[in-house]
Structure formats: structure tokens, C-alpha cells
Amino acid sequence: MMDFSVTLPAWVHPRVAAEPEIFPDVEARMRFAIRLAQENIERGTGGPFGAGVFDAEGRLIAPGVNLVASSNCSILHAEMVAIALAQQSLGRYDLSDGGAVEHELTTSTEPCAMCFGAIPWSGVTRLVCGARDAHARAIGFDEGPKLADWQAALETRGISVVRDILADEAAAVLEYYRDQGGMIYNAGKGHVGADRC
Amino acid sequence: MMDFSVTLPAWVHPRVAAEPEIFPDVEARMRFAIRLAQENIERGTGGPFGAGVFDAEGRLIAPGVNLVASSNCSILHAEMVAIALAQQSLGRYDLSDGGAVEHELTTSTEPCAMCFGAIPWSGVTRLVCGARDAHARAIGFDEGPKLADWQAALETRGISVVRDILADEAAAVLEYYRDQGGMIYNAGKGHVGADRC
């Protein structure tokens, strides 16, 4: 009960290596997050969510994919994995380094209540979202109790929010997951689908 | 950038070993969480927060302490560590096992926005809190944007909430941390204190 480790699936390495060093614009970064989400389903390594932390030049600091079922850990949403790995990569718990530098968290679907709450602690200064959280709810995920004005709450803390980037492609991944019977890993009686991922 | 591991400080092991197998009541479980918080300060291994996940008989499934600064990871709040380690210990991401069993998360201070959002995903069925989140805010922590009726939001999801258990002792740990100049690890310009923990 004293330790655990988090490891990205092996397929993520060549996927990252095949990408350019710089992701030039928000669509390129979102396309990458969506591809991670899609491949995470196809490879059977987790839920239909992908993310990445990028620096101000568009360089990938760390990718993230959902690892809840494959790692038996409910906190390992794609955004949390990307944040934690980016912080390990830079050697600090505050990606902004005291407000000195900018980082973007790109996520294929808007954050759930947990990931939303994690963002202000992380030091990212921009959040870019693909599908709406309503899409995640529509396929059965309980995204949790979020403030109605969650974007405003982030903006108040100096974190800008950009929504609906490649929203149709991002939502299509969620629908693909539902259509192929992907597990909905809500806790308790909210669980839906086979216990595999 | 591809993996990270979470390890409890070595001092936690003998601390756990010295406790009885069963914590008979909510005060005993809270006293344990508060001791973890206090020792985490004294040992210099993290922020002033301790937690534990217990089964319905009062058996400790996993302890947690804040490891943000010592692990360079903003998501490693005491509650998150306890949840993740408990899930590793039981081998499932849903502690409730589909609603079949009860678990309690005991935390020395009420959850921040992130830990609040993590609770519904975790499968714990009861949350027991010591100090109020207002106490954490009073010593400088930005607990994040939480719903005004966060307890009700958990109760709606079948998670009971018990507040103010040994609240004075729990708050005293926060004040001790502030008085000895403990780092306030908010991201960005909200950071206060020396960069060590």
C-alpha cells in the first residue's frame, strides 16, 4: 500500500516520436490529443481521452491518456497524467515557475470536476478543449459536480480557456467508444459495460 | 516524460505499523490523519495534510500525505495519494466494487476543488473531515473554485459527509505549518515561502 507507478502505454512512444518537435497551432495540438484518445481505445489501454502539455513554442512537454481501468486508478485521467508527467519532466510542481512561463493543457474533452480542480494547482496558463463535457455525459460518464461558470473560475485565476477546437472530431471519438461498447468507469452503481478497457 | 512513481516517505511505514489493525471510531481515524499531517511537516516531506482510506470495519487500506513539493507533483494531495494507494492495494479503480462495499476517506482538512472532484470517481462512500477548507485558505492555500454546496453534491452521489471531527487539533496543524514558515505551493504568483518542503 506504499507506492505506485504510472507508465504510459508503450504505443505512445512511437506516436510521440513521429510528431514534429513543434506543434505550430492549436489545431495541431488538438489533433494530437484526439489521436491519443482514439488510439487509447483501439489499443485497449484506457478510456477515450487524450491530452498534452505544451510550452509557449508548441513543444510537447508531456502527453497523457486515460489510464483509469488499465492502471486501476481513478485519478489517472488524461489531463492528470499529462500534468504529472510534465511536472516530472520539468522538475517542478508549478509548471509556470512562479508565473514566469506559459504552458497549455490541450485536452480532447473538457475537464471533469477533478481535472478542473487540478488545473489551478498545476501552473498551466491556458486550457484548450475539444469536445464539450456534455458529450462525455451523453455517452454515460459522470463528469462530476462542476461550477456552472467553470471557465470564468479559471480565467479569474489567470488561466485562459479555449473551447470547441476540432469539436466534431473530438466528439466522434467519444461516440466511437460508446458504439464499440467501451466501459463507463463511473464508481458504484454508475458503472456500465464490460470490466475491461 | 513517460512515467513517474509515487512513494510514501519512509517514516510512514513504522507509523502505520505502530497503529492497531482496527481504528474503532471516527476520532481514532482522524487522529491518525492529523498525526500524518503533523509528522509530514516535522519530517520535511510535504504540506500539512494527512489522509487515509479505511474499510467498513475501520481497517486502514492506505494512508496518504501531501507530497506536492517533495515529489514535484501538484496532484499529490494527501487525499489523492490515499485514494490511489488504496486502489492499488485492492486492485480496482472503484473502491466500492460496483456499490457492493463501503470505504471512508478521512482527511485532516476538507478537500480542495481537485480532491473534491476526485471523490465521486474513487468509490469511497463516506468523507470525514477535520479542519474546514476555510482554515487552509486562512494560512494561504488557494483551495480552488468549489461549489458552495459541495457536501450536498457528494451526498447526491451517495457519499455521506461528516465535518469538524477533531477540528481544533486539525486546524492547529495548519497553524503550526504557517508559524514555522511552511511553503504555500500555489501555482504562479500565489506561491509563498521558501521553495522547500
What is the predicted pLDDT for the residue at B1?
64
Please, what are the domains in chain A?
12-180 (3.40.140.10)
Is the CB of residue B59 less than 8 Å from the CB of residue B22? Answer: yes
Chain B nearest CA to A119, separation (Å): 8
Report, as residue numbers or ranges, the catalytic residues of B: 79
| B44 shares contact with chain A (CB less than 8 Å) | no
What is the predicted pLDDT for the residue at A190?
79
Q: Which three cell numbers stand for residue B164?
A: 469538524
CA-CA-CA-CA torsion for A142, A145, A148, A149, nearest 10 degrees?
-110
The residue count of chain B comes to 197
Is the CB of residue A44 less than 8 Å from the CB of residue A54? Answer: no
* Contacts for A114 with CB less than 8 Å, ≥ 6 apart: A75, A77, A80, A144, B114, B116, B117, B118, B121
Q: Which residues of A fall within a CB distance of 8 Å from B113?
A: 113, 116-117, 120
| A91 shares contact with chain B (CB less than 8 Å) | yes
Q: Which residues of A fall within a CB distance of 8 Å from B3?
A: 5-8, 85
ipTM associated with this complex: 0.96
DSSP 8-state assignment for residue A103: E
Which residue type is seen at B84?
A
Which residue of A lies nearest to B125 if distances are taken between CA atoms? A188
What is the predicted pLDDT for the residue at B196?
37
Chain A nearest CA to B172, separation (Å): 24
The pLDDT profile of chain A, 197 residues, written as one tens digit per residue, is 678 899 999 999 999 999 999 999 999 999 999 999 999 999 999 999 999 999 999 999 999 999 999 999 999 999 999 999 999 999 999 999 999 999 999 999 999 999 999 999 999 999 999 999 999 999 999 999 999 999 999 999 999 999 999 999 999 999 999 999 999 999 997 777 654 33
Cβ distance B117 to A116 less than 8 Å, yes or no, reads yes
Rounded distance between C-alpha atoms, residue A25 and residue A37, angstroms: 19
Rounded distance between C-alpha atoms, residue B57 and residue A77, angstroms: 30
- pLDDT tens sequence across A162-194: 999 999 999 999 999 999 999 999 999 777 765
Phi, psi of A93 (to 5 degrees): -80, -15
Q: Is A176 exposed, middle or buried (0-12, 13-18, 19+ CB in 10 A)?
A: middle
Q: Is B2 helix (H, G, I), strand (E, B) or coil?
A: coil
Helix axes A26-42, A167-179, angle to 10 degrees: 10
Cβ distance A85 to B4 less than 8 Å, yes or no, reads yes
Q: Which residues of B fall within a CB distance of 8 Å from A189?
A: 98-99
- pLDDT tens sequence across B32-58: 999 999 999 999 999 999 999 999 999
Cβ-Cβ contacts under 8 Å between A and B: the total is 212
The residue ranges of chain B whose pLDDT is under 50 are 195-197
Interstrand relation of B103-109 and A50-55 (parallel, antiparallel or unpaired): unpaired
Question: Which residues 157-186 on chain A approach chain B with CB closer than 8 angstroms?
Answer: 157-158, 185-186
Phi, psi of A124 (to 5 degrees): -75, 150
What is the predicted pLDDT for the residue at A2?
76
Q: Which residues of A fall within a CB distance of 8 Å from B61?
A: 1
Q: Give the closest residue to A71 by CA, choosing from A119, A6, A139, A161.
A: A6
Rounded distance between C-alpha atoms, residue B59 and residue B52, angstroms: 10
Q: Is A162 exposed, middle or buried (0-12, 13-18, 19+ CB in 10 A)?
A: middle
Please spell the DSSP secondary structure of B7-25, one letter per residue. E--TTHHHHHHTS-SB--S
Which residue type is seen at B186?
N
